Amino acid sequence: MFNIYRKLKWFILEEKKRYLLMLFLLLLISFVALVPAKLLGMAIDMIVNGGVSVIALTRIVLLMVAVPMFRYGLSFFYNHMMTVEAQKLTYKLRQKYLRHLFEMDSTFYETYPKGDLISRVTNDLDAITVAATSLLEGLIFNVGTILFAIAIMGFSISWPLTLVSVTIMPIALTILNIIRFQKRKYIRIHREIYSEMTEKVLESVEGMKVIRAYVQEKEDLAKQDLAIERDIESWRYIVRFENWFNPLFEVVYGISYILAFGYGIFQIVNQAITVGELVTFVSYLGMLYGPIISISTIFSQINNATISVDRFEEIMDKIPTVKDDASSKEIIRFQTIRFKNVTFQYPFDAQPVIRNITFDLQSGQTIGIVGPTGSGKSTLIRQLLREFNVTSGSILIDGEPIESYKIDDVRELVGYVPQAHMLFKKTVDENILIGNPTASHDQLDKAVKIADFEKDILFLTDGYHTMVGEAGSTLSGGQKQRLSIARALVKDPQILILDDSLSAVDAKTEENIISHLKEYRGSKTNIIVAHRFSAIRDADLILVLEKGKISQRGTHEELLKQEGWYKMQYIQQISMR
């Protein structure tokens, strides 16, 4: 519990006035909850002793009606405050978490799967919020009720009766919760199994088209069933533990009840207490049952929340390897980018993907990159996005290491169209304007024209305002590619990177796009990764990558004069037309 509040100390200090007021309200509510039992005992003694009067009885009845109403008002005010604080905490935690995710580099995302990250921002954050709000209510209210009840039982009725009846409770509670603490390690295992199940469900939803295309529904459902069964079985273990464990608290309470009645009757016989006091005492004892059971549940919730805090902090403690420092410089434009003996190996790969890459990229140039599948083309150009630090060598922008510039500024230079086109469930224009939210309608039209998406707009139901299905499901492969190109172009970047982004369009559309790029981006830098040589034929420089190394370089005409992969592949493409 203390570990949870230590981790959330920043929020509690921010809201300390509200927390102090809620603490006061909880203690007041727990005290007021005990008043009706005291009034009932007084009324019984008045009746037993024959001293009852209409006025006195009316006063007691009115008080017994007024007290619950007063408690209701206090509870309503407290619950409103608690709800507001819970919403604030949830918002701030999720905001911190999501901002932190955006700061992390690609190494982090290769380590943690989507399902796990989603589980931590949903289930785990919910458990933390409950710990900081509802659990505070449960602990303070229940402990307050227990302490106030014991104090009233002891001071106003009988300390011997109180000690005989109540002493067994904290002793048994402590022993039982020590046993329950052993369950904590298994709850962490359950959270991991739940994350794996979430990841499997996400994978199935995202890959539904492929699963259906290959008639793999039964096989995929079988895998889902297995993941869900593992999750349910891990939860069954916890439920079975609770099922045999929770009744033990009722046994402890039953023993206390027997002791209270037995010793209480003995004290009445010896005139140490009255019948009304015994009724009040038993009422208080009955009121202890709920708080004691609640506290046992709270300890279980604290156990869950502690694991959730640890999982949350595990993510928040991660530090990106690609990050700015105090001396990072700004950059708006460039003249030359130089790759100097660049070697890069992904964190979980055994061998480098690209090795000793050296070339210069001048502002205003168009560079084509070709090569066999898996030769490292995408990996090479992604180095300009600062997703990872290079393994060895250096990338220099106007003679300065790329690491010396601000990451956002470097990425702002680039308009990147990846092979996998990520579209959002928004309208067509909203998807395009992600590249530049402040773009004018003329800039939007220009980007659409260059991407040769203009003719498609005419056939869409609502034109620019047509809703795009999730992940672009309502568009064809070529439309998704061209919409993604328009999104990069509306940014009007210094460097446009097309990473095999023309593979799904026909030859005529490709020709139109390349023609438009020459017309509208003749003075800006373009990097085109392609398999069809028609897309890079007019490039100022073409790099041929084989097995992660540059095997050839030159213009289209120069490369055709050399024996090698480029000439052989070009002849093959020509013969297939």
pLDDT reported for residue 377:
92
Residue 513, classed as helix, strand or coil, is helix
Lay out the sheet containing 392-397: strands in order across: 354-362, 336-344, 392-397, 400-401
Name the CATH architecture for the domain at 419-492: 3-Layer(aba) Sandwich (3.40)
Residue 392 CA to residue 411 CA, distance in Å, equals: 21
Round to whole Å and give the CA distance between 537 and 532. 9
Q: Which CATH code is given to the segment(s) 333-413+495-504+525-577?
A: 3.40.50.300
The interaxial angle of helices 247-269 and 159-166, nearest 10 deg, is 160
Q: Do domains 2-197+227-316 and 419-492 have the same CATH topology?
A: no
* CA dihedral for 122, 124, 129, 134, sign (positive or negative): positive
Q: In whole angstroms, what is the distance from residue 287 CA to residue 152 CA? A: 13
Residue numbers in the chain where pLDDT is lower than 70: 1-3, 50-52, 135-136, 170, 173-186, 206, 209-210, 213-214, 241-249, 296-297, 299-300, 576-577
Question: Rounded to the nearest 10 degrees, what angle do helices 275-316 and 125-132 cross at?
Answer: 140
- In this predicted structure, what is the pLDDT of residue 542? 94
Q: Phi and psi for 116 in degrees, rounded to 5?
A: -65, -45
Q: What would the 3-class secondary structure string for 394-461 be?
A: EEEECCEEHHHECHHHHHHCEEEECCCCCCCCCEHHHHHHCCCCCCCHHHHHHHHHHCCCHHHHHHCC
Decide if 336 contacts 398 (C-beta within 8 A): yes
What are the extents of the domains in the chain? 2-197+227-316, 333-413+495-504+525-577, 419-492
Tell me what pLDDT residue 178 has.
Answer: 65
527, with CB counted inside 10 A (0-12, 13-18, 19+), is buried
- Phi and psi at residue 532, in whole multiples of 5°? -90, 125
Q: What is 2-197+227-316's CATH superfamily? A: ABC transporter type 1, transmembrane domain (1.20.1560.10)
Residue with tokens 């592949």: 569
State the pLDDT at residue 234.
Answer: 78
Backbone angles phi, psi at 414, to 5 degrees: -110, 135
- Asked if 343 contacts 393 with a C-beta cutoff of 8 angstroms, the reply is yes
Residue 451 CB-half CA count within 13 A: 30
